[in-house]
Amino acid sequence: MRKHIQHRDFLLDIYIEDTDFQGFVYHANYLKFFERARSNFLLENGIFHKDLVQNSLAFVVKRAEMDFLLPAKLEDSLVIKTAIEKKSKARMIFYQSMVNPEDGKILCRGVIEVCLINLITKKPQIFPNDLLLIFNKGELNE
């Protein structure tokens, strides 16, 4: 059975720029919100995109699956929950959900597979040691 690291909740407020003319969040913005939570996970663990790029490395999305269950609306205050699974030394999967903290309902779920690649060769690259250590010592949940 694979183990997951549970990341802290990412708080998110919905603004007019996030919505369509009906006041509902535009579907593509859910990807942006999930990206913010993933970037936050890396930043909080000392992994900086600009440092990776200086070393010709970058995280890229290999696969994304989304389930839109309920609409997020203008002025909602929501939470993005994230659990991370290490698939290999160059791939991880983020299991993410956007939740209304008032009633606990899940608005959207996503499974996002991310790879670290070498920007020159375009081939997978082993994660930095700092990231591998997170998976080895992280708070693990089944």
Q: Which of 50, 49, 43, 51 is nearest to 8 (CA)?
A: 43
Name the pTM for this structure: 0.89
CA distance 113 to 92: 6
Q: How far, in Å, CA of 15 to CA of 23, rounded?
A: 9
pLDDT digits (tens, 9 = 90+) for 29-52: 999 999 999 999 999 888 899 999
Catalytic positions: 20
| pLDDT at residue 140, rounded to an integer | 39
Q: Are 90 and 125 in contact (CB under 8 A)?
A: yes
Q: What average pLDDT does the segment 102-110 reach?
A: 97
CATH code at position 11: 3.10.129.10
Residue where the block lists tokens 């983020």: 94
Q: Which amino acid makes up residue 112?
A: I
Q: Are 128 and 47 in contact (CB under 8 A)?
A: yes
Q: What average pLDDT does the structure give for the chain?
A: 91
Domain of residue 17: give its range: 4-141
Alpha-carbon Rg for the chain, nearest whole angstrom, is: 16
DSSP strands (E only) in the chain: 4-13, 57-68, 77-86, 91-99, 106-118, 140-141
For tokens 């010709």, the residue is 56
Task: Inform me whether the pLDDT recorded for 135 exceeds 90.
Answer: no
Sheet with 57-68, side-by-side order of all strands: 57-68, 106-118, 91-99, 77-86, 4-13, 140-141
> How many domains in the chain?
1
